[in-house]
Amino acid sequence: MPRSPVKYNLGIRRLSTQQAFLEDYKKHHVPLSSLQRAVLTAGSAAISLANPYRGDMIACLGETTGRPALIHCLQRMQSNPEGQRILSQRPRINTSTVDFSSLKRLPHNTLGKTYYDFLKVNNVTPDSRPHVKFVDDIELAYVMQRYREVHDIFHAVLLMPTTMLGEVTVKWVEALQTRLPMCISGAIFGAIRLRPKQRQMYLNHTLPWALTIGQRSNFLLGIYFEERWEQPLDEFHKEMNIVPLVKNNQSLMR
């Protein structure tokens, strides 16, 4: 039997509850007719392919096409105690819910410090993730919101930067684990935009690695990262069955 995960609670501000997410969801939810959903799907797909930096269109496409994949993710989260706690408590990841000053003070090579360093090095903020609007089921809406808010943590623990090569690599891991159409399309079509040097590294190293990690590692969307901030990253990798592509995370983060 797999051992129970150690809980690491530093840096959590427990301000978010089920009721808080429900109120937030009601505030932003936009119901769609079948025709409206079809039009949004077609339009967001076309714009996303033409401009992969249109995060709003990629988010829209994910919500209008992702129901079967979200059901798959929900079932996988329900299959283990850690995922069940996430679904029950519905935590959020942003500057209001996570004490980033505490993460900054953590030792190097901890999960929380790695995540904090990733945000700083790549000039990323956890407050930039859009609210879910077009998912009608509240549980599936939370799963999509959770996916968006842990995406940067995936980058951090996989030691991948926010370059096009890093994004495509992470998208392959996410595509294999979540089955979300936007992840699959991002992985496939994002690779087309790689420069020659990046494409060579992608084909020889990062793609084979991402395919292996996506299939063999634990289901990362079902990990309660907020309980693990103090966990040594090496220990986390071992528990998740992740073999890093390189050992020196700083060389990838920059």
Feature table: binding site for Zn(2+) = 151-152, 155, 167
Write the CB contacts of 61 (distance below 8 Å, at least 6 apart in sequence): 41, 44, 45, 48, 181, 182, 185
The number of beta carbons lying within 10 Å of the beta carbon of residue 85 is: 16
Cα distance between residue 82 and residue 77, in whole Å: 8
Tokens 């951090």 correspond to 156
In this structure, what token pair is assigned to residue 186?
Answer: 């991002």
Residue numbers belonging to the annotated binding site: 151-152, 155, 167
The answer to whether residues 159 and 147 touch, using CB atoms and an 8 Å cutoff, is no
